[in-house]
Structure 1
C-alpha cells in the first residue's frame, strides 16, 4: 500500500487492487503519515507474560 502510494498510484486504483475501500486506504495512509512509516513497521517491544491486572497476594 505504501509503495503503491509513493509510486504515484491513486488511492481508488490500489484500493481496488487490494480489495479494500478507498476510504479505508485513506484512513491507513493518514495514520501512517501521522505516526511515521518506520515507527509502524518496527516490531513491538516484548511484553511480560504475566496477565494484566493480577497482583501478588499479600503485597498490599
Structure 2
C-alpha cells in the first residue's frame, strides 16, 4: 500500500477505518464509505497512519 497522496485521501481513510470499526455510521456512495467496503482494516490503518506524500 502506498502512502496517502492528499490530506483528503488520508481523512477519507481515517473515516473509513472508523466506519469499519463501528465508530461512525456507514455512508455508502461516499469516498470513505467506498474505502470501508473495499479495503481491509489493516490497509486502512496503514493508509490512515501514513504521512501525506505529494
TM-score of the superposition, structure 1-length normalised? 0.31
Q: Which fold has the larger relative contact order, with Cα–Cα distance below 8 Å and residues 6 or more apart in sequence?
A: 2
User: Hey, which of these two has a bigger chunk of helix by percent?
Assistant: 2
Between structure 1 and structure 2, the one with the greater Rg is 1
TM-score of the superposition, structure 2-length normalised? 0.33
